[in-house]
Amino acid sequence: MLLKIPGVLTKEQVAQCKAKLEDAEWLDGNVTAGYQSSQAKNNLQLPEQSATAIEIGDVILRALAQNNLFMSAALPLKIFPPLFNCYQGGQNFGIHVDNAIRQVPGTPVKVRTDLSMTVFFSEPEEYQGGELVIEDTYGAHSVKLAAGDMVLYPSTSLHRVMPVTAGRRLASFFWLQSMVSSDEKRTILFDMDMAIQQLRTQVQDSPEIVKLTGVYHNLLRQWAVT
Q: How far apart are CA 122 and CA 74, in angstroms?
A: 24
CA 125 to chain centre: 21
Buried b / exposed e over 89-118, threshold 16 CB at 10 Å, is: eebbbeebbbbeebeeeeeeeebbbbbbbb
Confirm whether residue 169 is marked as ligand binding.
yes
Three-class DSSP category at 187:
helix
- The answer to whether 23 is annotated as binding is no
Is 141 annotated as belonging to a binding site?
no
Is residue 186 within 8 A of residue 103, CB to CB? The reply is no
| CA angle at 173 for the pair 9 and 30, rounded to the nearest 5° | 150
Tell me: is residue 96 an annotated ligand-binding position: yes
For residue 131, which amino acid is it? Answer: E
The binding site for Fe cation comprises 96, 98, 159
The binding site comprises 96, 98, 159, 169
The binding site for 2-oxoglutarate comprises 169
